[in-house]
Structures are given as structure tokens and as C-alpha cells.
């Protein structure tokens, strides 16, 4: 099955848990006890915070996918050419070589969101998820700030 299917299953499970927590929070608010009400308010605050994080994660994924489809239609989507071990770890030498190539592209055309998308991909392959996400956010922001058309 596709990873998108499992993503939706996990989102559904998180929403179910959050709904249960919200219901519990509301029930605590209805109890005539200060501690219970504080617990209920705290629970609802955590649910709201969780919903905010979930929304932003989904929006980030949708925007990343949208940019990927644009690059695919242009024939500019980075190819996964890095060999992997049986455990799924990328060949470090190949990942570093790919990273340097995409980094040079980004330095040569820093105003093009496409090179930042590819650099984010290279960070991800290299295992640096934090920089991959930060770089992809930059690509998304650059694409969103472009005039339509």
C-alpha cells in the first residue's frame, strides 16, 4: 500500500485520540472542582496545540507534494540514484557527492525555489532531516512569494 494511505491512517488515529482527549477535557471542565477544571483546561489547551501542529504538518506535506509535482512536470525532479544498504541506509559517499552537486546549484541560483527543493532532497538523503525541512520550507516560501502566472 502507498505511504499516502498510511499517512491518512495515522492522521485519522491522531484525530481520534485528540477527540477523546477533548471530550475528557470538556468533562473535567463540568466538574465542580478547581483542580479538575484546571486539568480540563490544560487538556483542551494541549489538544488545541496538537491540532495546530497537525495542521501545519499536513500543510507542509501538501505544499511539498505540490512543488514536487511541478518539478516532475518540468522534468526537474531529483532522481533517487543513491544506493542503499539492506537496512535502507544510503551510501555515504554517493549521498555526499549528490549533496555537493545540489548545494552548488543552490549557490549558483539562490533565487530559484527549484534548487532549494533539490537541496532539501539531498539533505534528506544524507540523513539531516532538520536541515531538509528547513530548506524545503525556504523553497515553499520562495514559491509562494512568486507572482502567479
pLDDT in tens, 36-63: 999 999 999 999 999 999 999 999 999 9
The whole-number pLDDT of residue 136 equals 97
The burial class, CB within 10 Å (0-12 / 13-18 / 19+), for 129 is: exposed
Which among 80, 85, 86, 87 is positioned nearest to 125, based on CA atoms? 80
Q: Is 80 helix (H, G, I), strand (E, B) or coil?
A: coil
Radius of gyration for the chain, computed over Cα atoms and rounded to the nearest angstrom:
21
Contact 118, 107 (CB under 8 A): no
pTM of the model: 0.84
For the chain, the average pLDDT equals 94
State the maximum Cα–Cα separation within the chain, in Å, rounded to a whole number: 65
Amino acid at each position: 500500500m502507498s505511504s499516502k494511505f498510511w499517512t491518512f491512517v495515522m492522521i485519522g488515529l491522531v484525530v481520534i485520540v485528540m477527540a477523546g482527549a477533548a471530550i475528557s477535557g470538556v468533562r473535567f471542565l463540568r466538574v465542580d472542582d478547581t483542580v479538575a477544571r484546571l486539568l480540563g483546561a490544560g487538556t483542551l489547551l494541549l489538544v488545541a496545540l496538537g491540532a495546530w501542529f497537525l495542521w501545519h504538518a499536513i500543510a507542509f506535506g501538501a505544499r511539498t507534494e505540490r512543488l514536487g509535482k511541478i518539478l516532475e512536470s518540468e522534468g526537474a525532479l531529483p532522481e533517487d540514484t543513491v544506493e542503499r544498504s539492506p537496512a535502507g541506509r544510503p551510501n555515504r559517499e554517493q549521498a555526499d557527492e549528490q549533496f555537493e552537486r545540489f548545494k552548488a546549484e543552490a549557490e549558483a541560483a539562490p533565487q530559484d525555489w527549484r534548487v532549494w527543493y533539490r537541496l532539501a532532497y539531498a539533505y534528506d538523503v544524507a540523513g539531516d532531516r532538520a536541515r531538509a525541512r528547513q530548506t524545503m520550507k525556504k523553497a515553499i516560501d520562495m514559491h509562494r512569494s512568486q507572482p502567479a502566472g
